[in-house]
Chains A and B, each alone.
Chain A
Amino acid sequence: MACGLTGTGTGTGTCGSSCYKDNNDGIEDSTNTFSPPSSTTLLPHMKLCYKCKEEEVINSTGGLCGICFRNSLFAKFKQSITTHDLISSTDNILIAFSGGPSSRVVLEFVHEIQQKAQKNSDASRDKLYPVFGVGVAFIDESAVTSIASDDLDNAMQDLRLIVSSLALPTKELHIVPIQSIFSTDLKDGRNKLNELLDTVNDVTGKEDLLCHLRMLCLQKIAFENKYNKLVLGSCTSRIACHVLSAAVKGQGYSLPADIQYIDARWKTPVVLPLRDCLAQELNLLCRLNSLKTLDVLDAPRSGINDLVSKFLTTLQEENPARERTIVRTAEKLIPFHFNRLKETKDTDETLPRRRRRKVNLQPYESVPSEFLCSICCSPINKLDMECLNSKLEGCETNFTIFGASCCPSCQFQILPKDSSSREQFYSLLPRQMTTRASDFIGGDQTWLREQIKDCLLSDSEDGT
């Protein structure tokens, strides 16, 4: 009836066009029943994706529809992997899963490229295309959080469902309590963990120590299960927070180490394929694609890290590009030698010729060996190193040596101040941390002797 009315007024062509659009949208536009349609009337109601021009634009995507929005994020992910060789076909990678949007997306994207690799491998006759393996690790921190056990059980169930519902190839899920790095006896480990955290007075220091312990735990899982790479879901927003937090804690020298795509100072190198995506984008993607996240596991933060996070949220509201600007600034700081993967020639020979193309990376200016803090594994710069060495002279006890091998930031916010608390702190630490301090002292005697020589010379000059 409506079509009939319109038809009499304008003609069959226009009528057909109008009918088609109405049916396609599934929306009854009452204005069409009373007035002839025109292009100006239609435009305000239908914004089309600027990329595909077919689907409706979704808010906050920068003019994209749902599918193109996902594809643009996936393209950034893929670009990171390809350009920086983050995942190769012979890898066995472990995804650190926290339940948040970032790690949820990284799990989804890694799964997608694994599936594609599997299809390629199945389709090829000579089986020249190996497929990388994927495992998922979740660190259970219920020993130190106040989460209710019912909520935790539900979260664990959801987690197992998320991983098991992914199509083949199968991904092994490792759920490991964080206290396992202290002792194989979980009850004993729990007590040690809580005692350790109690010796740290500074709220921010406690939070950062827990973060370092988490990485130790992930490294342990990766090592014991023979994974050769650890994938984190760190996005632009998280890295921007880290840049500011590190600057505020006096870690300007070491902060470039933590923000590169690759971090190979660990036994199992850490890679960040989602580094170019914003938290806001990843949150939106999870909502649009119904990717389930485990919100109950979000730990409340406080202290310096929380203040930085709130500050950035304020700035982001004023200028959405702020987080990218911060990361771009930090990218201009010199990375360290371990911010690239060691090249293995064995892998190259097994691959077809055309897959050996590699991006020519700029040569890094760096010293061949870098001394790392025993607690946070941050590189220690030369000036701070000299201060540490002067403290080392005359040291005898293990915990004193350990204290002297920490960076100034950890010394301030994590190490206890008085001697007896420090001794207790040292006795509670997981072995991986204390052995690191031993390596610090034992390794590279030449370098240390050289430093001590410098001190001795200056001492003799003072004596004169």
Chain B
Amino acid sequence: MEDNDGKQKKAGGRLCSICTQRKAALKRPKTLEQICRECFFDVFEEEIHKVIIDNQLFKSGERIAIGASGGKDSTVLAYVLSELNRRHNYGLDLFLLSVDEGITGYRDDSLETVKRNEVQYGLPLKVVSYKDLYGWTMDEIVKMIGLKNNCTFCGVFRRQALDRGAALLKVDKVATGHNADDIAETVLLNILRGDIARLGRCTSIITGEDGPIPRCKPFKYTYEKEIVMYAYFKKLDYFSTECIYSPNAYRGFAREFIKDLERIRPRAILDIIKSGEDFRISTTTKMPEQGTCERCGYISSQVCYIFSCLHI
């Protein structure tokens, strides 16, 4: 029977478990189903579309900035959002928004990737740099304070830089490429550190709704491996070097643990996110209040305080 089937290219080759017509090309990381490339593209995109619709992430006519670092997550996000916007008529104006931290040999190369994406996807690109906004590059900051804790400085700066860039573009929302692995990792880290305030909100798919420009994570339930696989099969152009200043020691523990979990039980990543969503935090626990900074008027963060440290 199999011998007579002309479509069967190899003896013993399995067919896609979804369409049962084409040859299976991959084992899907999230479900371990063996499927073909076309079906993988379909389920991957359709799941993200479902997340966008179910959570009402966007409204027709909105201007959306995609946080673009040149890495795989933001590259795939830019590609997929463009596709879904066209296919399902979201009616969105999409932009690429990049932050230039001023890290020689790392960010300048990744920004070249984003500039190519701008051309390939037809999305306008805006780059904001630490040098322009704050007068310092990350190279200069590290020279002053050393490698220790430099990620904290950079994280605080980048967050405000993204807000400032979004304000310049006059967008309604910012979409970031945080994936399921990132969110599960954050849930774990907040448990390990005893950070109850963040634990309560780190699984939100939209954050900052009370602020000027909300942020959303369309890839909240999308596995990192699938993003890599999608980029690979679509032959998307992305930059994959890690930051040269990042010691990554502590996050590395949790990251490695999550990879081990995924190997034993792929669904564990979604289960961690579900736990994070289901936690009920006691209202008697005092939560830090969020206010507006007196000096610059933006949502209160540590930028101005850190600036004081740098100028001393």
- A12 CA / B281 CA spacing, docked (Å): 69
- Is the CB–CB distance between A253 and B260 below 8 Å? no
Q: Which of B253, B280, B285 has the most A CB atoms < 10 Å from its CB?
A: B280
- A330 CA / B196 CA spacing, docked (Å): 9
- A349 CA / B283 CA spacing, docked (Å): 35
Point out the residues of chain A lying under 8 angstroms from B280, CB to CB: 253, 256, 333-334
Against B, the Cβ 8 Å flags (1 = close, 0 = not) of A188-212 are 0000000000000010100000000
- Is the CB–CB distance between A253 and B191 below 8 Å? no
Given A326-B192, A409-B271, A307 and B281 touching (CB < 8 A)?
A: no
The reply on A137 being an interface residue by CB < 8 A is no
- A329 CA / B284 CA spacing, docked (Å): 14
Partner of A248, one of B271, B278, B284, B285: B271
The reply on B265 being an interface residue by CB < 8 A is yes
- A145 CA / B201 CA spacing, docked (Å): 43
Partner of A325, one of B192, B199, B270, B271: B192
- Chain A residue with Cβ nearest B270: A250
Q: How large is the interface on A (under 10, 10 to 19, 20 to 34, 35 or more residues)?
A: 35 or more
Given A333-B279, A362-B284, A247 and B188 touching (CB < 8 A)?
A: yes
The reply on A404 being an interface residue by CB < 8 A is no
- Is the CB–CB distance between A304 and B285 below 8 Å? no
- Chain B residue with Cβ nearest A252: B275
Given A247-B188, A250-B270, A332 and B281 touching (CB < 8 A)?
A: yes
Against B, the Cβ 8 Å flags (1 = close, 0 = not) of A315-344 are 100100010011011101110000000000
The reply on A24 being an interface residue by CB < 8 A is no
Given A248-B272, A249-B271, A334 and B281 touching (CB < 8 A)?
A: yes
Q: How far is the CB of A176 from chain B (nearest CB, A)?
A: 33
Q: Which of A71-101 contact B (CB under 8 A)?
A: none
- Is the CB–CB distance between A332 and B285 below 8 Å? yes
Q: How far is the CB of B283 from chain A (nearest CB, A)?
A: 7
- Is the CB–CB distance between B194 and A329 below 8 Å? yes
- Is the CB–CB distance between A244 and B188 below 8 Å? yes
Q: How many residues of B contact A (CB 8 A)?
A: 33
- Is the CB–CB distance between A304 and B261 below 8 Å? yes
Q: How far is the CB of B31 from chain A (nearest CB, A)?
A: 13
The reply on A272 being an interface residue by CB < 8 A is no
- Is the CB–CB distance between B267 and A412 below 8 Å? yes
- Chain B residue with Cβ nearest A302: B264
The reply on B300 being an interface residue by CB < 8 A is no
- Is the CB–CB distance between B270 and A244 below 8 Å? no
- Is the CB–CB distance between B281 and A250 below 8 Å? no
- Is the CB–CB distance between B194 and A328 below 8 Å? yes
A-B contacts, 28 of them at CB < 8 A, read: A202-B265, A204-B264, A247-B187, A247-B271, A247-B272, A248-B261, A248-B268, A248-B272, A249-B271, A250-B274, A250-B278, A252-B279, A253-B279, A304-B265, A307-B257, A307-B260, A315-B253, A325-B192, A326-B191, A326-B192, A326-B194, A329-B195, A332-B281, A332-B282, A334-B282, A365-B282, A365-B283, A412-B267
Q: A residues near B, CB below 8 A?
A: 202, 204, 243-244, 246-253, 255-256, 303-304, 307, 311, 314-315, 318, 322, 325-326, 328-330, 332-334, 362, 365, 381, 408-409, 412
Q: Which 6 A-B pairs have the closest CB atoms?
A: A252-B275, A250-B271, A253-B278, A252-B278, A250-B274, A247-B275
Q: B residues near A, CB below 8 A?
A: 187-188, 190-196, 199, 253, 257, 260-261, 264-265, 267-268, 270-272, 274-285
